[in-house]
Amino acid sequence: MLHEPREIPPETRAPLPAVDRVLATDAAQLAIERYGRAATVAGVRASLDEVRPAWRAGAAVDVSPERIAAAASMRLEGESRPSQRRVLNLTGTVLHTNLGRALIAEEAIAAVVAAMRSPTALEFDLSDGRRGERDDHVRGLLRELTGAEDAVIVNNNAAAVLLTLNSLSDGKETIVSRGELIEIGGAFRMPSIMNRAGARLVEVGTTNRTHLADYVEAIGPQTALVMKVHPSNYRIEGFVKETPAAELAPAVHERGVPLVDDLGSGVLVDLAAYGLQRERTVQEAVRDGADIVTFSGDKVLGGPQAGLVVGRHDLVRRLAKNHLKRALRIDKLRLAALEATLRLYRDPDRLAERLPTLALLARPAEKLKALAARFRPALADAIGPRFEVEIVDLESQIGSGALPLATIPSGGLAVASLGEKGGGGALQRLAASMRALSVPIIGRISDDRLNLDLRGLDDEHALAESIVELGLATAAEDAE
Ligand SMILES: *Cc1c(COP(=O)(O)O)cnc(C)c1O
């Protein structure tokens, strides 16, 4: 036979231990205490299954009960870590959809915890003891903050658009500019959503120019809505004509057609006050004459995932009565978080202190560079002499479709490989080691550098600990 030398004759090698013998070890007893008997038995079986082929083939594997118990414990520990783990977002995109978008305020977290623990007056009117509507908890706040007559809340903004179109344009036409037929990540394509909602899409204008007359000429007896969509993730530059909502609203109202404005990001404050570029607010959209305005709860608004619809009372009531609303409704936990978040907006002076998303976005670049200088030595130490770590100027993005091309000056660390040419492989391996940490560090590779943008850093202590762990992992790898 070919690989004879390493094999042990079957009659002399140790037998595979029975599950009970493994369970009797100290390590397995500890595992039972920690993870329960059923999971530990399953872990032991899986560990036995893992070594069996090599053992059968006669390879020199340690199959002592202690060794199998240790392998089972490691497996159980891995399995007990939450799959949706906390990470450090150093990607430079503050509202990163893949990393869960907005961090919510402590006030909102407390509200969620309270709502989880006890029954709540979710759909119950405490004044008369009758059934209430869940959206009532935020309707008043939204009216006050946006100036709109009424509001309804759903699962996310995609749901808000779907519900709006289905409630107001099912079997009828909705007019949209060709320059605004957007696709957002995650397969949200405006034409497909319209189709699903039962609305017939009427495209007007061209990709770069849509005039008021284009909209007006398309209005006919089948027109249910005219819709504007915020181009969240791109911008058309050059010979461009967009018809602003303020110009469009009176013209479509004159013809008895409501105007819908899908804003995407729910900006409720003047971002210029925080050193950021201005973005049209929900209040402005309402003032410009939009009859329905839709936006997300977890973008710049800084709350939980939610779709907010504000606008004209009679139209919003049609959305609230649609049976689809039941399938798209928000749960009590996020509603509690949304209510607490909106309440913070009543005190704009303290908003940047209390709303983590705004706090992260408003941090000056010099502060981030000073922070980078503090972390540089530890990181350089941790990853060793094969890499070079520099303090750099970076450009962060708000993310999730707010001000798509505007960047915010930022600061952080850039890691380059000193070894192989280009260093791509080494950087990829380093990025993988950072993802494998207990609290993973998520950076961004660009131009042969691994950039760690500190704008999105929400916990300096956690980053320091992750860097220490990275150092231990690198040292262990080098020792192998
Ligand atoms: C982000 C966005 C959406 C989708 O919102 P979700 O909350 O992610 O469902 C829809 N329209 C516009 C213009 C957006 O920017």
Closest CA to 176 of 151, 152, 193: 193
Q: Are residues 179 and 34 in the same domain?
A: no
| Ligand 1 atom nearest to CA at 297 | 7
Q: Are residues 32 and 146 in the same domain?
A: no
Closest CA to 416 of 460, 385, 393: 385
Residue owning the nearest CA to atom 7 of ligand 1:
157
| Ligand 1 atom nearest to CA at 158 | 9
Q: Cite the beta strand spans of 161-258 per DSSP E.
A: 173-177, 183-184, 188-189, 200-204, 223-229
| Ligand 1 atom nearest to CA at 186 | 8
Closest CA to 310 of 170, 140, 191, 192: 140
C-alpha 223 – ligand 1 centre gap (Å): 24
- Cα separation, 359 vs 351, in Å, equals 8
Residue owning the nearest CA to atom 5 of ligand 1:
157
Which of 317, 336, 353 lies at the terminal end of a domain, its last residue? 353
Task: Check if the beta carbon of residue 259 is closer than 8 Å to that of residue 245.
Answer: yes
C-alpha 338 – ligand 1 centre gap (Å): 17
| Ligand 1 atom nearest to CA at 233 | 15
Which of 297, 331, 353 lies at the terminal end of a domain, its last residue? 353
Residue owning the nearest CA to atom 2 of ligand 1:
264
Q: Are residues 252 and 336 in the same domain?
A: yes
C-alpha 226 – ligand 1 centre gap (Å): 18
The torsion angles phi and psi of 211, rounded to 5 degrees, stand at: -95, 165
Task: Check if the beta carbon of residue 68 is closer than 8 Å to that of residue 48.
Answer: yes
Residue owning the nearest CA to atom 3 of ligand 1:
264
| Ligand 1 atom nearest to CA at 159 | 9
Q: What is the pLDDT of residues 69-115, one digit of tens each?
A: 999 999 999 999 999 999 999 999 999 999 999 999 999 999 999 99
Q: Are residues 185 and 323 in the same domain?
A: yes
Q: What are the pocket residues of ligand 1 if the criterion is a CB atom closer than 6 Å to any ligand atom?
A: 156-158, 161, 184, 188, 229-230, 232, 262, 264, 296, 307, 400-401
Cβ count near 308 (within 10 Å): 29
Task: Check if the beta carbon of residue 251 is closer than 8 Å to that of residue 281.
Answer: no
Side-chain half-sphere of 438: how many Cα atoms within 13 Å? 13
Task: Check if the beta carbon of residue 279 is closer than 8 Å to that of residue 271.
Answer: yes
Task: Check if the beta carbon of residue 44 is closer than 8 Å to that of residue 21.
Answer: no
Residue owning the nearest CA to atom 1 of ligand 1:
264
| Token pair in block for residue 296 | 């997300």
C-alpha 96 – ligand 1 centre gap (Å): 13
Query: pLDDT value at position 144?
Result: 98
Closest CA to 454 of 352, 376, 355: 376
Query: pLDDT value at position 2?
Result: 47
Q: Are residues 146 and 75 in the same domain?
A: no
Please report the DSSP string for 11-26 in residue order. Answer: TTSPPPPPHHHHHTSH
End-to-end CA distance of the chain: 32
Q: Which amino acid is at 243?
A: T
Closest CA to 403 of 276, 261, 273: 276
C-alpha 355 – ligand 1 centre gap (Å): 21
Which CATH number covers residue 264? 3.40.640.10
| Ligand 1 atom nearest to CA at 306 | 7
Task: Check if the beta carbon of residue 169 is closer than 8 Å to that of residue 225.
Answer: yes
Q: Are residues 284 and 312 in the same domain?
A: yes
Q: Are residues 339 and 363 in the same domain?
A: no
Burial of 422 (0-12, 13-18, 19+ CB in 10 A): exposed
Low-confidence ranges of the chain (pLDDT < 70): 1-12, 184-187, 232-234, 401-405, 420-423
Q: Which amino acid is at 331?
A: D
Q: Are residues 68 and 204 in the same domain?
A: no
Which CATH number covers residue 93? 3.90.1150.180
Q: Which amino acid is at 318?
A: R
Q: In a mutational test of the pocket of ligand 1, which residue from 157, 190, 298, 338 has the highest number of ligand atoms less than 8 Å from its CB?
A: 157
Which residue segment(s) compose the domain that 66 sits in? 3-80
Q: Are residues 45 and 163 in the same domain?
A: no
Q: CA angle, 258 as apex, 210 and 341 as ends, to 5°?
A: 100
Task: Return the C-alpha torsion angle 282, 286, 289, 291, nearest 10.
Answer: 100
Query: pLDDT value at position 419?
Result: 78
Burial of 170 (0-12, 13-18, 19+ CB in 10 A): middle
Helix (H) or strand (E) holding 71: helix 65-80
- Cα separation, 373 vs 232, in Å, equals 34
Antiparallel, parallel or unpaired: β 441-442 and 307-311: unpaired
Q: Are residues 335 and 377 in the same domain?
A: no
Task: Check if the beta carbon of residue 65 is closer than 8 Å to that of residue 22.
Answer: yes
Q: In a mutational test of the pocket of ligand 1, which residue from 232, 265, 293 has the highest number of ligand atoms less than 8 Å from its CB?
A: 232
Cβ count near 50 (within 10 Å): 15
| Ligand 1 atom nearest to CA at 401 | 15
Q: Are residues 220 and 178 in the same domain?
A: yes
> How far, in Å, are 112, 140, 318, 328 from residue 131 at the CA level?
22, 18, 19, 20
Q: What is the pTM of this model?
A: 0.91
What is the total count of domains within the chain?
3
Query: pLDDT value at position 1?
Result: 41
- Cα separation, 204 vs 195, in Å, equals 17
Q: Are residues 166 and 293 in the same domain?
A: yes
Q: CA angle, 80 as apex, 78 and 81 as ends, to 5°?
A: 70
C-alpha 141 – ligand 1 centre gap (Å): 22
